[in-house]
Structure 1
Amino acid sequence: MRTDISNWKPLTVREINEIFSDIPIRWCIAGGWALDLHLGKQTREHSDVDVIITREEQFIAYEHLIRDWTLYRAEDGKLSLWEDGVYLNTTNDVWVSKNDESPWAFQLMIIDTEDYWWTYKRDKSIRRPIADMMLKTDEGIPYLRPEIQLLHKAGGSNVREKDYRDFQTMLPSLLEQEKEWLKSSLNRQFPEGHDWLKFL
């Protein structure tokens, strides 16, 4: 079990693309990098890099990554080795490094899907077709749609200052339908209201 949670030396987005382009699964860049890819420029420093995969394709990802990487499941505040053949039913995050002493290189975010639909883990009534979740850069790098990424940033129990700044940075570039989807989703998750709604 590892406890060095701040020991990060993240790969670049291009390096991630090189790795995952050879794995026959649906994947995309998430987190702050997804928003920067949408804008076509880096707006702030990023301490890590997140990659989304689907739960149903986790074994395919595992079989390819384990050849060159060490994978740790993150659950209940602990990091433990993801061992061969163990299906992750409830784990949503996997941290990846070259070996058990090297810095963390990237993080896998495992999402739940059913019948070609993605389901938001914090409110199962919020869904989206999997095929409609991702966009691509001109270079062909897939990334999570900005309105979906912003919902994840807004929907946590503790909205961080960097999440609010990301929202403000993205707001001028969001299309009306993207704003409407985010507004509708926030209203559904937070019927009592949310601080970001006044901007949408």
Structure 2
Amino acid sequence: MSEASPIPHDAWCAWHPQELARRVSGVGRPWCVVGGWALDLWHGAETRPHEDIEFTVLREDFALFRQVLADFRFHAVGDGQVRPLRADEAPPSDIAQVWCEDVAAGCWRADMMLEDGTPETWIYKRDPSIRRLRTEMVQVTNDGIFYLAPEAVLLFKAKYRREKDEADFARAVPMLGKDRRRWLKACIAKAHPDHVWLAAL
């Protein structure tokens, strides 16, 4: 596939989680939807529009997922830059985000996050001391879509507190069980000691 300049950064026509699952489920390695879509999979309904879809894979498995998405062009994303990866190029170690370009359609379909955990262990990328069994942190819908547990999604969202993050938090907190709330509160207290969400937890 020949290299070309990246399409506009806002040229998103993201897959629905069902389409993502259809395309990657045959890999047989850990993956899951993250971000706002993960919360909506947990809710069981789409609570707000989503301009993109984010999913995570183990960094060591990038080539496997690239293979099943062979019709797409992949771009390393970091520091505000979007750079095409050569066909034989792995993302540099400081890159944890790869956009998947549908060349034929001229749009972005998915945002692939690279994580440094293991098939058994989920590791919070901003603080590797925060880790849990993957079986505790990844859930699955009745139709086979893997998604990150809500408490972990909210931990990521705590850093930015964008309008959509605040709305996601407000919707999720009343539905979180005691153990999820306790874990989230402890992790936010460690990562963001003065965070306003702590009072709500």
What TM-score does the superposition give when structure 1 sets the normalisation length? 0.92
Aligned to 2:165: 163
From 71, 74, 78, give the equivalent of 2:77.
74
RMSD: 1.6
| Cα offset, 1:3, TM superposition | 5.9
Secondary structure, aligned partner of 1:180? helix
| Cα offset, 1:177, TM superposition | 0.5
CA distance in 1, matches of 2:20, 2:90: 23
Q: Which amino acid aligns with 1:195?
A: V
8 Å CA contact 1:23, 1:64 repeated in 2: yes
Q: Which amino acid aligns with 2:133?
A: P
1:28-64 superposed Cα distances (whole Å, 9 cap, x missing partner): 1111110011010111011111111111211211222
**Is 2:62 the partner of 1:62?**
no
| Cα offset, 1:117, TM superposition | 2.3
CA distance in 1, matches of 2:74, 2:44: 30
CA distance in 2, matches of 1:120, 1:100: 35
CA distance in 2, matches of 1:128, 1:83: 34
Aligned to 2:187: 185
Secondary structure, aligned partner of 2:36? helix
From 97, 122, 145, give the equivalent of 1:141.
145
What TM-score does the superposition give when structure 2 sets the normalisation length? 0.91
Secondary structure, aligned partner of 2:28? coil
Q: Which amino acid aligns with 1:28?
A: C
Aligned to 2:28: 24
| Cα offset, 1:114, TM superposition | 4.7
Runs of 4+ in structure 1 deviating by more than 3 angstroms, as ranges, are none
| Cα offset, 1:87, TM superposition | 2.7
Q: How many residues align?
A: 196
Q: Which runs of 5+ in 2 are unaligned?
A: none
Aligned to 1:172: 174
Q: 1:19 to 1:79 in 2, by over 3 A?
A: same
**Is 2:87 the partner of 1:84?**
yes
**Is 2:6 the partner of 1:39?**
no
8 Å CA contact 1:50, 1:108 repeated in 2: yes
Q: Percent identity?
A: 33
Judge which range, 52-61 or 33-42, deviates more: 52-61
8 Å CA contact 1:97, 1:104 repeated in 2: yes
Aligned to 1:49: 53
8 Å CA contact 1:24, 1:60 repeated in 2: no
Q: Which runs of 5+ in 1 are unaligned?
A: none
8 Å CA contact 1:52, 1:110 repeated in 2: yes
Q: Which amino acid aligns with 2:184?
A: L
CA distance in 2, matches of 1:15, 1:188: 36
8 Å CA contact 2:97, 2:113 repeated in 1: yes
Secondary structure, aligned partner of 1:113? coil
Aligned to 2:198: 197
Q: 1:109 to 1:79 in 2, by over 3 A?
A: same
